[in-house]
Chains A and B, each alone.
Chain A
Amino acid sequence: MRKTLPATGGINTCTLSLQLNGQRHQLEVHPWTTLLDLLREQLDLTGTKKGCDHGQCGACTVLLNGKRINSCLTLAVMHDGAQLTTIEGLAEGGELHPMQAAFIRHDAFQCGYCTPGQICSAVGLAGENRANDRDDIRELMSGNLCRCGAYPNILAAVEEALPATRDRLQEKAP
């Protein structure tokens, strides 16, 4: 599955160990490979989307050591030894994550391009434990844009699935 890296112009590649969706990966990357490009181009994990590539849209949101980040604005090489969860890693044993199920139940998308980022961001939001009402959710989900404007349904899905997501995170806490 791993693709051949293009020529480096004399700069060495770096090795990197990642715990990605529960599996350990030993990888070789160029220093300038973003975490997003590593996922999509080298590992064929295309669930994480490239929208703006500038940290403005949130489509590339993943969970780094449990915290939501824009994978387009960080270099893969900076995360040696980290734990990474992408949209592909949320379901367990063929069962959707509560946040994924809520997005389907509430029809919280139209084109679906922003959805993986929205869902990862909402799982990160649950871990932060700072959203106490709908206004908090709106404010704390503002890093994820939906060009289709499915916000009312996204809000409903996130609000419904926050408690179950918090419970799941607490079960997994060491």
Chain B
Amino acid sequence: MTPFSYARPERIEEALALAGPDSRYIAGGTNLLDLMKENVLHPRRLIDINRLPLRDIEETSSGGLMIGALVSNADLAWNTQIEQRYPLLTKAILAGASPQLRNMASTGGNLLQRTRCYYFYDTGTPCNKREPGSGCPARNGLNRMHAILGTSEACVAVHPSDMCVALAALEAQVHVQGPHGVRRIAMADFHRLPGDRPEVDNNLGEDELITAVELPAEGFAQHCAYLKLRDRASYAFALVSVAAALELDGTTVKVARLALGGVAHKPWRIEAAEQSLCGKPAEQASFAVAADLLLDGAQPLQHNAFKPELARRAIIRALAEAARGTAR
């Protein structure tokens, strides 16, 4: 690692004042330190935010939960309230990483993890995300893991998080604080598509800090499923993952939420796909229509031509599992 200096503020305002172009916040550090060892990132100063008071999970006045940005992935997944009211989130978190990593990785950091595109990690190759304008070897290279939706000429990387796919389906809000105050960003607007600026993963300002993630009251606890498909049974990034959540009236769908991981630069949601299920019977034919709408426009690359069909089947299976009732 390139040498850096270290600061450990006790208050949020102090942390914000320390931030600058060559500094990075560190919480769990499981992704940041890895990238620093690979020389992908080389900050001159790390600001350790672990002493900030952002480690609680609290009820909100609207009946939801406010999750402090420093709550570890393990503590969040196994929090009693989360397990009972938001099992989709528990399932998604437990599908990601390893127990050791989940014990360190933070809620805020999970939102900010970088893609695992091989070329982004390999400083011996060009990468528009790492060095804007240098090119994208993934587009015509090894791209089995890569995106099929929302790509650009400049970048075909996918966002690696499982947790974020569930947060997107649950319509969580990201609370951030900057030198000029606080604001909320809907999960749908937090991450961005690569376009011609793939170096920018999300819409968090450079001078802002994530302080919390807010879950709305509705957790779809009765009818949800998280299905993750990958090259080995555990501890691998998704080829495709699906967060499915339903509210049923008998056997008719009242509300549906669907988000995909492993297919785009952000958790992939399409309102038309969810709308198509409303008022329809919770059965295979309706699920297939929703799957086609969600995958509309998918463009596979040379080595991931399997993804659209894999995703289609995964969506149908996840919806069927959700309709049967959340597996406990």
Residues of A within 8 A of B100 (CB): 55, 58, 61, 68-70, 121, 124, 143
A124 to B104 CA separation, bound complex (whole angstroms): 13
Q: Is B305 an interface residue (CB 8 A)?
A: no
Residues of A within 8 A of B37 (CB): 53-54
Q: When the two chains form their complex, are residues B99 and A8 in contact, meaning their CB atoms are under 8 A apart?
A: no
Task: For the complex, count residues of B whose C-beta is within 8 A of A.
Answer: 29
Interface residues of A in 51-75 (CB under 8 A from B): 53-55, 58, 61, 64, 67-70, 73-75
- B305 smallest CB distance to A (angstroms): 28
A144 to B100 CA separation, bound complex (whole angstroms): 9
Contact of B3 (CB < 8 Å), options: A32, A61, A73, A128:
A32
Q: When the two chains form their complex, are residues A30 and B29 in contact, meaning their CB atoms are under 8 A apart?
A: no
Contact of B98 (CB < 8 Å), options: A58, A74, A75, A78:
A58
A74 to B87 CA separation, bound complex (whole angstroms): 29
- B315 smallest CB distance to A (angstroms): 24
A86 to B50 CA separation, bound complex (whole angstroms): 23
Smallest CB-CB separation from A65: which chain B residue?
A: B103
Q: Is A9 an interface residue (CB 8 A)?
A: yes
Residues of B within 8 A of A11 (CB): 3-5
A124 to B98 CA separation, bound complex (whole angstroms): 12
Q: Is A31 an interface residue (CB 8 A)?
A: yes
The chain B residues found within 8 Å of chain A, CB to CB, are 1-6, 8, 26, 28-30, 33-34, 37, 46, 48, 50, 74, 78, 97-101, 103-104, 233-235
Smallest CB-CB separation from A130: which chain B residue?
A: B78
Q: When the two chains form their complex, are residues B5 and A124 in contact, meaning their CB atoms are under 8 A apart?
A: no
Residues of B within 8 A of A64 (CB): 103
Smallest CB-CB separation from B121: which chain A residue?
A: A54
A130 to B94 CA separation, bound complex (whole angstroms): 12
- B163 smallest CB distance to A (angstroms): 17
Q: When the two chains form their complex, are residues A121 and B99 in contact, meaning their CB atoms are under 8 A apart?
A: yes
Q: When the two chains form their complex, are residues A74 and B4 in contact, meaning their CB atoms are under 8 A apart?
A: no
Residues of B within 8 A of A32 (CB): 1-4
Q: Is A125 an interface residue (CB 8 A)?
A: yes
Q: When the two chains form their complex, are residues A73 and B30 in contact, meaning their CB atoms are under 8 A apart?
A: yes
Q: When the two chains form their complex, are residues B3 and A143 in contact, meaning their CB atoms are under 8 A apart?
A: no
Contact of A55 (CB < 8 Å), options: B8, B48, B101:
B101
Q: Is A110 an interface residue (CB 8 A)?
A: no
Q: Is A14 an interface residue (CB 8 A)?
A: yes
Contact of B235 (CB < 8 Å), options: A34, A75, A142:
A142
Residues of B within 8 A of A77 (CB): 6, 48
A116 to B29 CA separation, bound complex (whole angstroms): 23
Q: When the two chains form their complex, are residues A73 and B5 in contact, meaning their CB atoms are under 8 A apart?
A: no
Residues of B within 8 A of A133 (CB): none
Which of B3, B5, B6 has the largest count of A CB atoms less than 10 A from its CB? B6
A74 to B33 CA separation, bound complex (whole angstroms): 7
Smallest CB-CB separation from B98: which chain A residue?
A: A143
Which 4 pairs show the lowest CB-CB distances between chains A and B? A143-B98, A31-B6, A142-B234, A142-B235
- A80 smallest CB distance to B (angstroms): 8
Q: When the two chains form their complex, are residues B98 and A34 in contact, meaning their CB atoms are under 8 A apart?
A: no
A128 to B223 CA separation, bound complex (whole angstroms): 27
How does the 8 Å CB contact mask read for A128-150 relative to B, with 1 for contact and 0 for none? 10100000001110111000000
Please judge, given known A-B contacts A58-B98, A130-B78, A143-B235, whether A70 and B30 are in contact too, CB under 8 Å: yes
Q: When the two chains form their complex, are residues A70 and B99 in contact, meaning their CB atoms are under 8 A apart?
A: no
Residues of A within 8 A of B6 (CB): 14, 31, 75, 77
Q: When the two chains form their complex, are residues A69 and B104 in contact, meaning their CB atoms are under 8 A apart?
A: yes
- A82 smallest CB distance to B (angstroms): 11
Write 6 A-B pairs (CB below 8 A) sorted by A numbering: A31-B6, A54-B34, A54-B37, A55-B98, A69-B100, A78-B29
How does the 8 Å CB contact mask read for A8-35 relative to B, with 1 for contact and 0 for none? 1101101000000000000000111010
Please judge, given known A-B contacts A14-B6, A34-B33, A139-B234, whether A68 and B99 are in contact too, CB under 8 Å: yes
A8 to B130 CA separation, bound complex (whole angstroms): 27
A55 to B8 CA separation, bound complex (whole angstroms): 24
Q: When the two chains form their complex, are residues A142 and B98 in contact, meaning their CB atoms are under 8 A apart?
A: yes
- A94 smallest CB distance to B (angstroms): 29
Residues of B within 8 A of A8 (CB): 3
